[in-house]
A and B are shown apart, each in its own frame.
Chain A
Amino acid sequence: MRPRALAGAGATALGAVTAIAALVIGTTAGHAETVPSSAYGIAAEGPVPIEPMPYVESTDGSRQENSAFTLPENPLVSLEVAKVVAEEEAASAELLNLGLVPGAELPEQLSSLDEPLQQLMSGLEPACQADNPAAAVNEAIGDVLPGQIVDQLDPEQLCASITAGETPALVSIELVKVACDATSGSVEIANVAMLGQQVQIPPLEEETPILPENPLVTITANKQTTNDDGSFTVVGLEIDLGDGTEVITLGSATCGFSEPDEPEKPTAPPPTPVTTGLPVTG
């Protein structure tokens, strides 16, 4: 059975706030307003930029779909399928079989991050050959990637793959599913593996830190934002490499809204002249 985590209550509460904000905006605007819904599978900002893709937007409320089976060649992220949908007051993004830093090597553009990664990798090899490999491996990982998630890694298994010369992805995820509607947002993530080993992730409350602060990679799940135009964005995973050097967004759904037309003002008709005597000042 897949370990799944659903973000529910927090998203619903924020969604309600969003809906109220939208109502207020509509009232003061005084006319019909449509804010589009949109979604994308992946985007990255930093030395290795990736434009949002596949991207989809619904400006008139009609259902729009897009999908991708490959990504532009890049050393950061791989995936097998990305499907995005946008429609009236709803949007979703679904990503299958994601790999983050699939070769466990950072590209040249991110050389500043290479040090902690190399520290991790170079520290693991001697750790695996130590008298007490488990303690040594945990120490080597803990120096770079602290936190409960990493504690779940099995040192023996990790050493076996390193000895065999395999280079597992830093992080791999089988499914990331993000959705929003008029009042709520949700994030579903299944089968997360780090360095080739499956790890349990905590329940995805809003802004759940899956990997807390560290010099190599921080991962935040279920990030929710109310935008200036009143729309509401849910991001499945935000991956921050090197403390903001490269930020990768995986699965983003933005739900817009349509304000109903302002109730028609009962416009007064032209007057019917009355025949009467009223001396005016002429």
Chain B
Amino acid sequence: MTSQDNSRTPRGDSASTRLAYVLTGVVLVALGLVAVLVLSAGADPVTGKPAANTKPAKLSSLVESTTHTRLDRAPRDPRPQQATEGWIVRPTKVIAIHDAPGGRTFGKVGPKQIGETWLPVIAQRDQWTQVLLPSKPNGSTGWLRSAHLKREYTPYLIRVHLSSMRLELFFEGREMNSWTIGIGKPDTPTPIGRTFILGSIVDPNQRYSPIILPLGAHSDTLDSFGGGPGTVAIHTWPTTDVLGTASSNGCIRVPREALNQLTKVPLGTLVLVDQG
């Protein structure tokens, strides 16, 4: 008998024996799968720490962070007046948003909403990235797994000063231009804090601005406005008399020349609104 002969299944095996082999294999594979599931649910694969929630996040049950939604469990922006290094990220697929690196999930975010989703990076820790979110309430942040993010850089920064009603556009840290603007009325003020350019839209239902730049912020006093969620935006206005006045419902009204420049600014660019 050759060694090749030894490796063959004996012709004399009964059907029941073969069935026993198959069943044993199935049981072993099933046990392996169970072990993997238990391990992945019980510990964070990046930090190795026990996950706060013992079940993997079900994306379908999570609310997506958009300008239309509200995620009250989102951590607040810890430094609402601080400029960033200019990094912006875009989820490569719909992913869960966590309240801390390896922490609990409270929402999800995908690569598209108004247009492409680009979010400003405000912190990095290990394999996690903290971003500003477009959903309510203002100043919402969340932690995303860096592995699922495309990363780019914006050299721009927009600063809005409410008291002086000025908007400044910075490029690589240098002020390029500034304009007198219109801001929200005292009863519908433009919200203060750190937000970002969420989109660039042509709205066929609006005639006051050729392009509107919705921000990641919402009016603090209007839950909804005109059928929308109260999204604050940068746009022009048909007349220039609104510039230098507090006359809007929260939006930032800019001269046409300013809009021409601001529409070249990448999505995700930081907008810092202060009282100054």
Give A contacts to B, CB under 8 Å. 265-282
Known A268-B266, A274-B199, A274-B200: A280·B228 in contact at CB below 8 Å:
yes
Task: Tell which of A266, A268, A280 touches B235, judged by Cβ atoms closer than 8 Å.
Answer: A280
CB contacts under 8 Å to A, within B33-85, are 67
Query: Does B155 contact A280, Cβ atoms closer than 8 Å?
Result: no
Q: Is the CB of B153 within 8 A of A271?
A: no
18 residue pairs A–B, Cβ–Cβ below 8 Å: A265-B86, A266-B151, A267-B153, A268-B153, A270-B263, A271-B200, A272-B200, A273-B202, A273-B211, A275-B201, A277-B203, A279-B205, A280-B231, A281-B184, A281-B249, A282-B226, A282-B248, A282-B249
B158 → chain A closest CB, angstroms: 14
- Number of cross-chain contacts by CB at 8 Å: 104
Known: A278-B67, A280-B226, A281-B184. 10 other contacts (CB 8 A): A268-B267, A274-B114, A274-B199, A278-B203, A279-B231, A280-B212, A280-B225, A281-B230, A281-B232, A282-B206
Q: Tell yes or no: B118 within 8 A of A by CB.
A: yes
B267 and A273: CB pair below 8 A?
A: no
CA distance A32 to B249 in the complex (A): 47
Q: Which residues of B contact A277 (CB under 8 A)?
A: 203-205
Cβ A280 vs Cβ B267 within 8 A: no
B92, CB-defined interface residue at 8 Å: no
Interface of B is mostly: loop
Whether, in the assembled complex, B227 has its beta carbon less than 8 Å from a beta carbon of chain A, the answer is yes
**Of the candidates A268, A274, A276, A281, which one forms a contact with B233 in the assembled complex, judged by CB atoms under 8 Å apart?**
A281
Contact (A272, B212) CB under 8 Å given A278-B199, A280-B225, A281-B230: no
CB < 8 Å neighbour of B152 from A267, A279, A280, A281: A267
Please, what's the 1-or-0 string for B190-220, where 1 marks a CB less than 8 Å from any CB in chain A? Answer: 0000000101111111101001101000010
Q: In residues 107-158 of chain B, which contact A (Cβ within 8 Å)?
A: 114-116, 118, 151-155
CB distance from B208 to the nearest CB of A (A): 7
- Shortest A270–chain B CB gap in Å is 4
B101 is an interface residue with CB less than 8 A from chain A? no
| Chain B residues whose C-beta falls within 8 Å of the C-beta of A276 in the assembled complex | 114, 201-203
B188 touches A278 (CB 8 A): no
A247 to B205 alpha-carbon distance, docked (Å): 83
A280 to B214, CA, bound (A): 7
CA of A271 to CA of B264, assembled, Å = 7
Query: What B residues does A267 contact at CB under 8 A?
Result: 152-155, 266
